[in-house]
């Protein structure tokens, strides 16, 4: 039975929110990691996390237009003079499909508080503000060239058609964030399908941006206008939010672009397992720097570590499934830890570096288990 929860989230999110698959957090929905047990490489759409600054808009695909404008296009069209593409135009262009991770920069934020006594404001995500989907669409570079891109363009800023974001009484306008032209011309997709189906409303219907390897805020949903500029662009989403502020960082903060290394067990939080029986424990690790090279597991609160078995199907992929066997020796409270290292040698410290807004938690998470 699928239960839909009547709550703030229900007003903001359109898809059914089964409590077996998703946890509600401040109007957003976090994937439950145990809902990935036995699943394939991609996260099914019914359990894919949703992060909305306001709410999912219901857009009419018949009247929807992608509108490109700005000083980086031939003739410097204004928004009123924008070069327009409709849904059919995009569908008629060469299509591409890519498996990409989407991860909120604040994923794991609650562990700054629970493990490091350093709480940060923002959605108190566990580890489930992440997912891999197969995204299909047209390359942004193809559309930019059709729109008359010039050699002078330096930044591209897609804007969502969801309501303006208002915080502390201040209207910051529509969700938007610049992408440097080199990345925009590289592997960025304007996606209209997710996991082989029409892009769902909550994930950006009719079209969203997908910026592979960059934090989730770059991947603007419900995209409408796209500014292409010959001078650098900025928005509150790259100057005020999604920056690392605090004693370890520059005074004006450090831009957050690349997700860090993380690992999660496909187990309920506080799972109960019988003592003396061998159990197969599964999980996944991922990094914005590139593929995962090794994963180590501790079942004794960090005293000893052993390598996990990596699923060879995922070698070189955007995330890595792994398993390990464990025979809990006796009843009691136990803590599981998983620690991954990626191809660049980046790993997971015991303590993540705190920052004012609680981004990029890369610390080893202590997963509690009760053995009975």
Q: Which one of 25, 53, 110, 262 is in contact with ligand MTE (CB under 6 A)?
A: 53
Sort strands 28-31 and 22-25 into parallel, antiparallel or unpaired.
antiparallel
Is residue 162 involved in binding ligand MTE (CB under 6 A)? yes
The distance of closest approach from Cβ of residue 338 to ligand MTE in the complex, given in angstroms and rounded to an integer, is 22
Are the CB atoms for 365 and 108 separated by under 8 Å?
yes
Is residue 175 involved in binding ligand MTE (CB under 6 A)? yes
Is residue 241 involved in binding ligand MTE (CB under 6 A)? no
Comparing CB distances to ligand MTE, the nearer of 102 and 181 is 102
Q: Which one of 43, 50, 228, 261 is in contact with ligand MTE (CB under 6 A)?
A: 50
Nearest C-alpha neighbor of 65 from the set 87, 35, 92:
87
Q: How far apart are CA 107 and CA 92, in angstroms?
A: 36
The distance of closest approach from Cβ of residue 56 to ligand MTE in the complex, given in angstroms and rounded to an integer, is 8
Sort strands 170-171 and 254-255 into parallel, antiparallel or unpaired.
unpaired
Draw the binding track, 298-337, toward ligand MTE (x: CB under 6 A; -: no contact). ----------------------------------------
Q: Tokens 């959605």 appear where?
A: 123
Sort strands 271-273 and 367-371 into parallel, antiparallel or unpaired.
parallel
Is residue 217 involved in binding ligand MTE (CB under 6 A)? yes
β partners of residue 341: 294
Contacts of ligand MTE in 79-108 (CB under 6 A): 102, 104
Is residue 219 involved in binding ligand MTE (CB under 6 A)? yes
341 alpha-carbon distance from chain centroid: 19
Q: How far apart are CA 209 and CA 189, in angstroms?
A: 6
Token pair for residue 230? 């010959």
Comparing CB distances to ligand MTE, the nearer of 69 and 242 is 242
**Which residues would be at the binding site for ligand MTE (CB under 6 A)?**
48-53, 102, 104, 160, 162, 175, 203, 216-217, 219-222
């Amino acid at each position: 039975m699928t239960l839909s929860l009547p709550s703030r989230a229900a007003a903001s999110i359109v898809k059914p929110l089964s409590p077996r698959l998703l946890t509600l957090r401040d109007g957003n929905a976090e994937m439950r990691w145990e809902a990935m047990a036995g699943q394939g490489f991609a996260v099914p759409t019914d359990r894919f996390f949703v992060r909305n600054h306001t709410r999912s808009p219901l857009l009419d695909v018949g009247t929807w237009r992608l509108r490109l404008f700005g000083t980086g296009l031939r003739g410097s069209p204004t928004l009123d003079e924008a070069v327009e593409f409709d849904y059919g135009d995009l569908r008629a262009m060469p299509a591409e499909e890519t498996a990409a991770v989407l991860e909120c920069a604040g994923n794991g934020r609650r562990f700054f508080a629970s493990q490091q006594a350093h709480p940060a404001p923002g959605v108190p995500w566990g580890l489930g503000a992440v997912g891999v989907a197969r995204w299909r669409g047209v390359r942004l570079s193809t559309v930019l060239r059709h729109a008359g891109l010039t050699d002078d363009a330096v930044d591209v800023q897609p804007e969502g058609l969801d309501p303006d974001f208002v915080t502390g009484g201040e209207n910051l306008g529509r969700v938007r964030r610049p992408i440097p032209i080199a990345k925009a011309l590289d592997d960025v997709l304007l996606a209209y399908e997710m996991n082989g189906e029409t892009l769902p409303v909550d994930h950006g219907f009719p079209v969203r941006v997908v910026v592979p390897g960059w934090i989730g805020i770059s991947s603007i949903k419900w995209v409408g206008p796209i500014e292409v500029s010959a001078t650098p662009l900025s928005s509150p989403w790259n100057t005020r939010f999604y920056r690392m502020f605090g004693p370890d960082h520059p005074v004006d903060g450090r831009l957050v672009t690349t997700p860090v290394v993380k690992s999660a067990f496909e187990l309920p939080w506080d799972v109960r397992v019988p003592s003396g029986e061998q159990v197969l424990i599964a999980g996944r690790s991922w990094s914005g720097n590139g593929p995962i090279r090794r994963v180590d597991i501790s079942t004794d609160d960090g005293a000893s570590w052993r390598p996990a078995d990596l699923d060879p199907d995922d070698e070189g992929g955007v995330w890595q499934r792994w398993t390990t066997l464990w025979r809990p020796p006796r009843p009691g409270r136990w803590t599981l830890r998983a620690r991954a290292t990626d191809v660049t040698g980046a790993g997971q410290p015991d303590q993540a570096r705190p920052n004012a807004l609680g981004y990029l938690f890369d610390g080893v998470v202590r997963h509690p288990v009760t053995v009975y």
